[in-house]
């Protein structure tokens, strides 16, 4: 018995947009299957494997039979460990019971959005920014109020811009530092101003610190140094090299934790158990040593890619000091939209990058995101190919 009718999906669900990069990825796979060499500068995760001490902890956990549900907020010892990490690395006092372990930063985003927002509310977000914010907000009937940010602002939101964009329905503001897609940081003072503004207006400040630790030539901060009443999203995915383990966390004000814990019970039951045990090894000196070496490596790659792209005529005026992305303005003489640029670049020279359209509307047609999640020689090869591609573009 086959149904011929279309299922009645919720309009909001139908409105969730596909990522443009997915279409490029499909095409890249096809080309690869045909034997073409493709360089992936679109990948939003470290190419490094999970550090060995974390893997060893995972193996030990499996050996010990750590395969049952944990408490909804996560293993107490992991929450304690994170609390210590904040104290030791950032001098921030974050009590363990203010930290909820979640299924990735993705789970933390769901938790914080659903805890704070109701349909009809609005949230200030940067344009460009991580695409899931917008999509998840809209699924909840919440309107993302996009504020255009530019290279002049380091692609970050200033209190002045936030204030100018404010509406009576704004209930929260979300920023990321280091940011996706630009890799730029939010200065401490700028963050303090945003915090003051949010407090004055009775809105929540949400800071996505998923790229924390991946910072180059700049001091590493946490918004938790600032105040107790910020909501900080984080994850073991990026700095700790654990994307596939789906483990993140949320630091919340004490008074919000009980409600969020109840929500987590219902939404997730609990985060992944072996992953939580594995993550206990994320802070061991042996692990941090590996991670710091990787950080040095990312810095070298950033320097190479930043220099190279600038030499080729891309505009990267902001100061991309973190994450593993560069958000590059197409050379002025390139007469095509970034979507078409990325598509053609993939076809002609086999370099994949993410068109700006995935991150918003503002200037999207002029920007492409390059990720430096591959080795230096590959970056060099990519730069050579892009150079060739630009020559072809010019000669048309």
Ligand X SMILES: Cc1ncc(COP(=O)(O)O)c(C=O)c1O
Task: Name which of residues 246 to 275 contact ligand X (CB under 6 A).
Answer: 248, 269
To the nearest whole angstrom, how small is the minimum distance from the Cβ of residue 205 to ligand X?
16
- CA pair distance 96, 106, nearest whole angstrom: 20
Q: Of the candidates 178, 274, 308, 322, which one interacts with a second copy according to CB under 8 A? A: 274
User: Residue 248 touches which of a second copy, ligand X, none (CB < 5 to 8 A by kind)?
Assistant: ligand X
Q: Of the candidates 237, 287, 338, 373, which one interacts with ligand X according to CB under 6 A? A: 237
- CA pair distance 280, 248, nearest whole angstrom: 13
What is the number of the residue whose Cβ is closest to ligand X?
Answer: 104
Find out whether 177 and 186 touch, Cβ atoms under 8 Å: yes
Nearer to ligand X, 176 or 383 (CB): 176
Binding-residue pattern over the window 122 to 141 for a second copy, x denoting contact by CB under 8 A: ---------xx--xx--xxx
**Neighbouring residues of 300: CB distance < 8 A, sequence distance ≥ 6:** 376
Nearer to ligand X, 248 or 308 (CB): 248
Nearer to ligand X, 178 or 350 (CB): 178
Phi-psi region of 253 (alpha: psi -120 to 50; beta: other; left: phi over 0): beta
Nearer to ligand X, 90 or 245 (CB): 245
Contact status: 68 vs a second copy (CB under 8 A): yes
Show the CA angle centred on residue 161, arms to residues 160 and 162, nearest 5°.
90
- CA pair distance 347, 122, nearest whole angstrom: 40
User: Residue 208 touches which of a second copy, ligand X, none (CB < 5 to 8 A by kind)?
Assistant: ligand X
For residues 274-303, one letter each, b for 16 or more C-beta atoms within 10 angstroms of the residue's C-beta and e for the rest, the string is bbbbbbbbbbeeebbebbeebbebbbebbe
- CA pair distance 289, 96, nearest whole angstrom: 25
Q: Of the candidates 104, 308, 355, 356, which one interacts with a second copy according to CB under 8 A? A: 104
To the nearest whole angstrom, how small is the minimum distance from the Cβ of residue 160 to a second copy?
22
Beta bridge partners of 100: 250
Alpha carbon 22 to chain centroid, angstroms: 17
Token pair 């999203």 is at which residue?
233
Contact status: 283 vs a second copy (CB under 8 A): no
Nearer to ligand X, 104 or 363 (CB): 104
To the nearest whole angstrom, how small is the minimum distance from the Cβ of residue 28 to ligand X?
18
User: Residue 210 touches which of a second copy, ligand X, none (CB < 5 to 8 A by kind)?
Assistant: ligand X
Token pair 């086999």 is at which residue?
350
Binding-residue pattern over the window 168 to 207 for a second copy, x denoting contact by CB under 8 A: ---x---------------------------x--x-x---
Tell me how far CA of residue 357 lies from CA of 129, 133, 153, 204, 327, in angstroms: 10, 14, 19, 27, 12
Nearer to a second copy, 102 or 321 (CB): 102
Phi-psi region of 323 (alpha: psi -120 to 50; beta: other; left: phi over 0): left
Nearer to ligand X, 42 or 208 (CB): 208
Nearer to ligand X, 162 or 176 (CB): 176
Q: Of the candidates 122, 154, 208, 358, which one interacts with ligand X according to CB under 6 A? A: 208
User: Residue 256 touches which of ligand X, a second copy, none (CB < 5 to 8 A by kind)?
Assistant: a second copy
Find out whether 182 and 155 touch, Cβ atoms under 8 Å: yes
DSSP three-state, residue 93: coil
Nearer to a second copy, 119 or 219 (CB): 119
Tell me how far CA of residue 356 lies from CA of 20, 206, 292, 342, 366, in angstroms: 9, 23, 30, 10, 7
Q: Of the candidates 30, 32, 36, 49, which one interacts with a second copy according to CB under 8 A? A: 49
- CA pair distance 30, 352, nearest whole angstrom: 13
Contact status: 266 vs a second copy (CB under 8 A): yes
Q: Of the candidates 114, 135, 243, 344, which one interacts with ligand X according to CB under 6 A? A: 243
Binding site for ligand X (CB under 6 A): 44, 104-106, 130, 176, 180, 208, 210, 235, 237, 243, 248, 269
């Amino acid at each position: 018995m086959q149904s011929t009718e279309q299922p009645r999906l919720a309009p909001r669900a139908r409105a969730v947009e596909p990522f443009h990069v997915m279409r490029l990825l499909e095409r890249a796979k096809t080309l690869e299957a045909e034997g073409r060499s493709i360089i992936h500068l679109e990948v939003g995760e470290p190419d490094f494997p999970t550090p060995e001490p974390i893997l060893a902890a995972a193996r030990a956990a499996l050996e010990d039979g750590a395969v049952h549900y944990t408490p909804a907020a996560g293993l107490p010892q992991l929450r304690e460990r994170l609390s210590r990490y904040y104290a030791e690395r950032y001098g921030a006092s974050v009590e363990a019971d203010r930290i909820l372990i979640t299924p990735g930063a993705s789970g933390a985003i769901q938790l914080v959005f659903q805890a704070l927002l109701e349909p009809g509310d609005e949230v200030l977000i940067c344009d460009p920014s991580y695409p899931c914010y917008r999509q998840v907000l809209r699924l909840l009937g919440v309107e993302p109020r996009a504020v255009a940010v530019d290279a002049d602002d380091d692609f970050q939101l200033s209190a002045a811009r936030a204030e100018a964009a404010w509406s009576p329905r704004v209930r929260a503001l979300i920023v990321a530092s280091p940011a996706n897609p630009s890799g730029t940081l939010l200065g401490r003072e700028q963050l303090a101003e945003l915090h003051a503004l949010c407090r004055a207006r009775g809105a929540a400040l949400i800071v996505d610190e998923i790229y924390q630790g991946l910072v180059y030539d700049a001091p590493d901060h946490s918004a938790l140094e600032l105040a107790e009443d910020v909501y900080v999203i984080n994850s073991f995915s990026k700095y700790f090299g654990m994307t596939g383990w789906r483990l993140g966390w949320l630091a919340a004000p004490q008074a919000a934790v009980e409600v969020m814990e109840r929500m987590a019970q219902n939404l997730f039951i609990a985060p992944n158990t072996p992953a939580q045990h594995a993550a206990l090894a994320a802070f061991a000196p042996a692990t941090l040593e590996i991670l710091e070496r990787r950080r040095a490596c990312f810095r070298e790659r950033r320097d190479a890619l930043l220099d190279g792209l600038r030499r080729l005529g891309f505009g990267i005026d902001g100061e991309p000091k973190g994450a593993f992305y560069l958000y590059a303005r197409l050379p002025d003489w390139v007469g095509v939209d970034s979507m078409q640029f990325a598509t053609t670049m993939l076809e002609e020279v086999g370099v994949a990058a993410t068109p700006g359209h995935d991150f918003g509307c503002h200037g999207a047609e002029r920007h492409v995101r390059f990720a430096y999640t591959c080795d230096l020689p590959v970056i060099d090869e990519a730069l050579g190919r892009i150079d060739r591609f630009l020559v072809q573009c010019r000669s048309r």
